[in-house]
Amino acid sequence: MAGAIPGDGGHGEDAVRMLQALEGLGLVGPRLAVSQGTEETLARQLAEHLGIPYKSWQVDFVKGQVESARQMEDLENRLQGAVMSVPQQRMMDAAWAQTKELEEQHKAEMEEAAAAPVIPRRGTLGKSVRLRTGRVVTEDAAEEKVLQILTKELTDMGAPILQELGNSAQPERALKSLMGKYRASTLRRYLASWQHFRKWCYMGENHQPNSPTSFIDYLFVREEEGMGASIPLAVSRAVAWFQQLAGVPEGQRLTDSQAVDLVVKDLVRKLESKAKPIKRAPRWLTAMIGPMEGLVMDREAPLGRRVAAWMKLVKLWGALRFSDAANMKVRAIRFYDGKFTATLQKTKTTGAGKRVRELPLYIGEDAYVAESSWLEIWYNLVKRTWREDGEYVFNEGAFDSGQTGMGPMKYYEASAASSDVITALKDYEGERIFPEGFDRFWSEHSERSTLPSCLAAMGVSKTDRDLIGRWLPEGSDQYVRTYNAAVARLQKRFVKVVRSGKAYETFDEGSILEEMKEWMVTHWEVNPGDADNAVEAFKKKVKVLAAAETVDDVQPSGEETELATTESESDKKQEAANEGKRAKVERKGKSKMPELEEFSKRAEERPLKERKFQQLAEERQGGYVVVYQRAGRGTLHLLGPDACWMAKKRSFTKAEIHKECPDPQQYSTWCKLCWRKEAEKAQESTSDSIDELDLSDVTDG
């Protein structure tokens, strides 16, 4: 009988049989060593194989045999390594060290990833929609209003689809099918683009959008405004979608026109190639200024037209861009002693995050050609169109039925109103000045280039011209006072040349009309000979009108090209004539200066929409905060060292702090500043111009 076997527990015979069975099955050495961890199963199988009762000692016995086999395998491996050559041993040691380093590096990366902030999932909190009226409604209610707008747009154009749906057994249910397969956001975007185009046609041409030529001209207006490469195709698709939905027969849709297709493709090609958009911004003819002032003073003209004319004159004398005038705020303007001042807080070169926060604007009392009181009536004229809660001088709808919108005027509104104003200009004999279509030659940026260009033609240095063209801000009160005086002298010098009747020659305005010839050929495909004849005939009228600008004013001296620092005798006579004209206008009752005390009182009573935020005494620490600020939506912020400044210090009206990242149902979006890297990865390209759907014309359901 074999000697005692380690781990047999006194069950010698059964242990020997189990050992012999392992050897018979070939489970020895390395093959037995790999059974580590499965000893209990192996012991049970051996007992069943030998037909002996299964006992707990059998598991310990098998564990001992497996451990002995594993130790023997380690010994054999070490013995084999001992006979390696020195280079082989060094190679093995280097490989082991590199493996160890990679394992430690991987472990550190895993620990860092575990400590990094969790990237939140997309929020699913139900979103609300704020209408232009200021009311906040649910997404479903907004979709209902979109459907009402869609139905109204189709009704206004007499869409055939409405008659077909109206003949069904359930017309109301059939109308809901107009939403089709499109998502609500897609439908709003398409409908907004169509609505934008339709309003432009109505305001600019007073007809429904049914002409390919009108659509082409609209695309050129959008180009002047500045747009991304995706806009031409997006607008074209929106128009095609609406007309297809309306049931317009194929072949009669605007996008079926070969000319429209060519223009869209050409615009996309230029914008995608980063080519500079064509900026059609010729300067004004000085002969337009006097009649424009007369239009402002004309009480028989429509109110919206007079407001638009006043705006264009302010842009001219202040060298303003369209965006400068659009964002001019009521509380930032002043009128005193016949002078108009404003603080421009949002321009192309100012605003939050830029070196200059605001810029001054000044229009002096001598900034007129024919009507000295055109600037004085700004209060009586423009304020009549302000909303009680309005923020901007020119809100949406300013040139149509009163400023009904909440935001600033849109580019298409100003463009259409400008076309109407220029078309309505009359000379001093009451005759229309511009032939049909000539009004489209000037854009919303033309006013900005007029005064600086004319001063350059007079020999004024660039430093002085930049006072008007760029404002050159320095931020001090002393600078503003100096600025006002310097700009007043420049405006007065320009006026003297215009009133002298020599503006056409002095400012080389014939070059503007030469540009008009080229514009007629390239833009309207007019025969070059016909364009030359039409403009030459118009040129004679412009010269006569420019010479008539002298009116009854005193002629300036021949030294109009010198920038005088003191008033000459001619200036004193001119000032006397100006005072007489103002007195004459006031006696006729054409203009009445408002009570400034009443304006100041109402301005103080107007609630301030922009109030400074309050800071917390201590920064918020670790976790997350959901801020509920607008339209029932929640923004998720990260707390801690990587948090944005708002999450750290700002006091919110309504906010909830969480230790762990909340569920997506508790927020709508997450802060792009708190998760900067993730926001950069997810950022998508957007177009420069965004059309918004006007929901203000529908009634609540």
Domain assignment present for 652: no
The confidence band for 563, taking pLDDT boundaries of 50, 70 and 90, is: very low
Closest CA to 458 of 429, 485, 491, 488: 491
Q: Is the pLDDT of residue 559 over 50?
A: no
> Cβ–Cβ contacts within 10 Å for residue 280, how many?
18
Tens digit of each residue's pLDDT (9 = 90 or more) over 476-509? 444 556 778 888 899 999 999 988 888 888 898 8
Helix, strand, coil percentages, rounded to 5, for the chain: 55, 5, 40
Coil, strand or helix: which one is 555? Answer: coil
Mean of the pLDDT values across residues 230-241? Answer: 86
Mean of the pLDDT values across residues 207-220? Answer: 82
b/e code 37-69 from CB counts within 10 Å (16+ = b) = eebeebbeebbeeeeeeeeeebbebbbbbbeeb
Q: Is the pLDDT of residue 561 over 50?
A: no
Domain assignment present for 2: no
What distance in Å separates the CA atoms of residue 239 and residue 232, rounded to the nearest whole number? 11
Q: Is the pLDDT of residue 610 over 70?
A: no
Return the CATH number at 425: 1.10.443.10
b/e code 4-32 from CB counts within 10 Å (16+ = b) = ebebbeebeebbebbbeebeeeebeeeeb
Tens digit of each residue's pLDDT (9 = 90 or more) over 91-130? 777 777 788 888 888 887 777 666 555 677 777 666 565 5
Position 79 scores a pLDDT of 60
Tens digit of each residue's pLDDT (9 = 90 or more) over 621-647? 888 999 886 656 788 888 888 788 788
Tens digit of each residue's pLDDT (9 = 90 or more) over 588-598? 333 333 333 33
Handedness of CA 295, 208, 129, 674 (dihedral sign): negative
Q: Which of 206-220, 513-527, 683-697 comes out lowest in average pLDDT?
A: 683-697
Q: Tell whether 420 and 400 lie within a shared domain.
A: yes
Which residues face 637 on adjacent strands? 625
DSSP states along 355-401: S---EEEEE-TT--SS-TTTTTTHHHHHGGG--TT--BSSBTTTTTT
Q: Tell whether 486 and 577 lie within a shared domain.
A: yes
What distance in Å separates the CA atoms of residue 417 and residue 439, rounded to the nearest whole number? 11
Which residues face 657 on adjacent strands? 625
Q: Is the pLDDT of residue 650 over 50?
A: yes
Q: Tell whether 297 and 414 lie within a shared domain.
A: yes
What angle separates helix 139-156 from helix 231-246, to the nearest 10 degrees?
70
Which residues face 392 on adjacent strands? 329
Q: Is the pLDDT of residue 515 over 50?
A: yes
Residue 469: domain span: 286-605
Tens digit of each residue's pLDDT (9 = 90 or more) over 307-346? 889 899 999 998 888 888 888 888 888 888 888 888 887 7
What distance in Å separates the CA atoms of residue 107 and residue 113, rounded to the nearest whole number? 10
State the residue for tokens 């009359």: 426
Residue predicted with more confidence, 132 or 373: 373
Domain assignment present for 574: yes
Tens digit of each residue's pLDDT (9 = 90 or more) over 4-51? 455 555 677 888 888 888 888 888 887 787 778 888 888 888 888 888
Distant-in-sequence contacts of 17-20, Cβ < 8 A, 24+ apart: 17/50, 17/52, 18/46, 18/50, 18/58, 18/61, 18/62, 19/65
Q: Tell whether 302 and 268 lie within a shared domain.
A: no
Would you say 440 and 462 are in contact if contact means Cβ atoms under 8 Å apart? no
DSSP states along 278-301: P---PPPPGGGHHHHHHHHH-TTS
Position 692 scores a pLDDT of 63
Would you say 456 and 432 are in contact if contact means Cβ atoms under 8 Å apart? no
- Cα–Cα distances in Å, from 124 out to 120, 127, 261, 635, 673? 11, 8, 40, 11, 20
Q: Tell whether 511 and 362 lie within a shared domain.
A: yes
Would you say 518 and 534 are in contact if contact means Cβ atoms under 8 Å apart? no
Q: Which of 269-273, 274-278, 343-347, 629-633 comes out lowest in average pLDDT?
A: 274-278
Tens digit of each residue's pLDDT (9 = 90 or more) over 151-168? 888 888 888 888 788 777
What distance in Å separates the CA atoms of residue 290 and residue 429, rounded to the nearest whole number? 13
The confidence band for 579, taking pLDDT boundaries of 50, 70 and 90, is: low
Domain assignment present for 114: no
In total, how many domains does the chain have? 3
Q: Which of 100-114, 238-252, 462-476 comes out lowest in average pLDDT?
A: 462-476
Q: Which of 58, 83, 108 is the last residue of a domain?
A: 83
Q: Is the pLDDT of residue 371 over 80?
A: yes
- Could you tell me the two tokens for 595? 């009570």
Position 554 scores a pLDDT of 39
Q: Tell whether 424 and 469 lie within a shared domain.
A: yes
**Average pLDDT in the chain:** 75
Q: Tell whether 268 and 339 lie within a shared domain.
A: no
Position 680 scores a pLDDT of 57
Position 494 scores a pLDDT of 92
The confidence band for 278, taking pLDDT boundaries of 50, 70 and 90, is: low
Q: Tell whether 458 and 485 lie within a shared domain.
A: yes
Domain assignment present for 358: yes
Q: Which of 605, 636, 653 is the last residue of a domain?
A: 605
Q: Tell whether 403 and 314 lie within a shared domain.
A: yes
Domain assignment present for 4: no
The confidence band for 407, taking pLDDT boundaries of 50, 70 and 90, is: confident
Q: Tell whether 274 and 291 lie within a shared domain.
A: no
On whether the pTM is more than 0.85, the answer is no
What distance in Å separates the CA atoms of residue 683 and residue 676, rounded to the nearest whole number? 10
Tens digit of each residue's pLDDT (9 = 90 or more) over 43-76? 888 888 888 888 888 888 888 888 888 888 776 7
Domain assignment present for 69: yes
Q: Tell whether 242 and 333 lie within a shared domain.
A: no
Position 582 scores a pLDDT of 45
Position 133 scores a pLDDT of 56
Q: Tell whether 228 and 317 lie within a shared domain.
A: no
Q: Is the pLDDT of residue 260 over 80?
A: yes
Mean of the pLDDT values across residues 140-147? Answer: 75
Coil, strand or helix: which one is 329? Answer: strand
Q: Which of 35, 60, 83 is the last residue of a domain?
A: 83
Domain assignment present for 42: yes
Mean of the pLDDT values across residues 227-238? Answer: 84
